[in-house]
Amino acid sequence: MDSRDLLDLSLPELASEITAWGEPSFRARQVWEWGWKRLATDFASMTNLSRGLRGRLARAFTIRLPTVAAGQGDEEGTDKVLLTLADGQAVEAVLLREDRRRTVCVSTQVGCPVGCSFCATGGMGYVRDLTAGEIAAQVLHFARVLQCAGEEVTHVVVMGMGEPLFNYDATLRTIRNLNDPQGFALGVRRITVSTVGVVPGILRLAEEGLQVNLAVSLHAPDEDLRRQLVPLGERWPLREVLSAADHYAERTGRRVSYEYVLLREVNDRWEHAHALARLLRGRLAHVNLIPFNPAPGLPYERPEDSRVDAFRRLLIGSGVDVTVRRSRGVRIQAGCGQLRTQQGGSPAASHEADRVV
């Protein structure tokens, strides 16, 4: 428990540790490859390293594997797992299979401090941030599952439990580690970070020199309604969120996605669609409409399909690019916003997801 998690380190950090032991630096690359490419779960299996080095690595580090406390799958190829971390806390992660895409949705916090009124994770409150190693372990868990079928993780969406830009350093460290060409080698353009609108985080992300996809959770076309749904709207008004997102699009050349959870009779009427179109017209933007996924205790309903379609058509007619996120994993409470690890025992988590980018 005291030794450091190998997956928390960057390659340069690992190299400086190992060269300090008098080993040549290519040894660090070998270890890195074992951890991130060959998905090793222990040091003993790193057979191209000397027995002595393997022993020393095992004393200095661990490869911290979360335990699968519960797992559920559905007929569409969505798998959800509840992972127990070293301190007994738990998070959920989801694998979505769609055509040739294999998307892993990861959590960045246990719970979430934001408390959006339509989100099951928000209802849990905030417990703690995950470490970079704990975020990466969710991806590697499913990478190992897929490896058995000769498949690979093709996309990662940071859309599980928590607000990633409130756990900025660990999130970025994980993204850089996953992207490293000598290891997991996942292209940054295949990674999407979803934020509820943490303006300083968006501006910081714009300067990282990474072309990560940014998804901004908007949910309302006007300030008053947004504040009712997203308490953080008080801190960062819509105008500031949009201008930070514009800046992100300019700096990275990447189109920003706007997520809009459709709540029946709350934000799904034609006047909302009109106002949303006015807000986004002319922007390098794409709207993801997410029909509400119900979870116990949430006081909203999903609009009828006809309403969702009318909303979509109105946006398209106004020149706004839009997709409706097909609900995946909802039956197993793995849809967007359904992720939750109930304290005191009964897991009722979720994330949905599908073609998110």
User: Applying CB under 6 A, which residues contact ligand SF4?
Assistant: 112, 114-116, 119, 121-122, 162-163, 196, 217, 337
Distance separating alpha carbons of residues 249 and 284, to the nearest angstrom? 7
| 118 touches ligand SAH (CB under 6 A) | yes
Closer to ligand SF4 at the Cβ: 35 or 337? 337
| 119 touches ligand SAH (CB under 6 A) | yes
Least distance in angstroms from the C-beta of 239 to ligand SF4 = 19
User: Is 336 one of the annotated active-site residues of the chain?
Assistant: yes
Partner whose binding site includes residue 115, from ligand SF4, ligand SAH, none (CB under 5 to 8 Å by kind): ligand SF4
| 212 contacts 191 by C-beta, under 8 angstroms | yes
Residue nearest to ligand SF4 (CB): 122
Selected from 124, 132, 137, 290, the binder of ligand SAH by CB under 6 A is 290
From start to end of the chain, where are the E strands?
A: 4-5, 61-62, 67-73, 78-84, 90-98, 101-105, 109-111, 126-129, 155-158, 191-195, 213-217, 256-262, 285-291, 322-324
- Cβ neighbors of 192 (< 8 A, separation 6 or more) are 155, 156, 157, 158, 159, 212, 213, 214, 215, 257, 356, 357
Selected from 8, 98, 134, 259, the binder of ligand SAH by CB under 6 A is 259
Selected from 130, 241, 242, 261, the binder of ligand SAH by CB under 6 A is 261
Binding residues among 146-205 for ligand SAH as defined by CB under 6 A: 159, 163, 194-196
| 200 contacts 28 by C-beta, under 8 angstroms | no
Closer to ligand SAH at the Cβ: 14 or 196? 196
Partner whose binding site includes residue 159, from ligand SAH, ligand SF4, none (CB under 5 to 8 Å by kind): ligand SAH
Distance separating alpha carbons of residues 159 and 177, to the nearest angstrom? 18
Least distance in angstroms from the C-beta of 52 to ligand SAH = 44
Distance separating alpha carbons of residues 46 and 30, to the nearest angstrom? 9
Q: Which stretch binds ligand SAH (CB under 6 A): 10-18, 50-58, 78-86, 287-295?
A: 287-295
Partner whose binding site includes residue 261, from ligand SAH, ligand SF4, none (CB under 5 to 8 Å by kind): ligand SAH
| 240 contacts 226 by C-beta, under 8 angstroms | no
| DSSP state at residue 44 | T
Closer to ligand SF4 at the Cβ: 85 or 218? 218
Distance separating alpha carbons of residues 342 and 90, to the nearest angstrom? 9
Tokens of residue 197, six digits: 């609108």
Catalytic residue among 23, 92, 134, 352: 92
Burial 139-167 (b: 16+ CB within 10 A, else e): bbbbbebbeeeeeebbbbbbbbbbbbbbb
Residue nearest to ligand SAH (CB): 337
What's at 69, amino acid-wise?
A: A
Tokens of residue 302, six digits: 């999903």
User: Is 92 one of the annotated active-site residues of the chain?
Assistant: yes
- As annotated, the active-site residues are 92, 336
Interface ranges with ligand SAH (CB under 6 A): 118-119, 159, 163, 194-196, 217, 259, 261, 290, 292-293, 295, 336-337
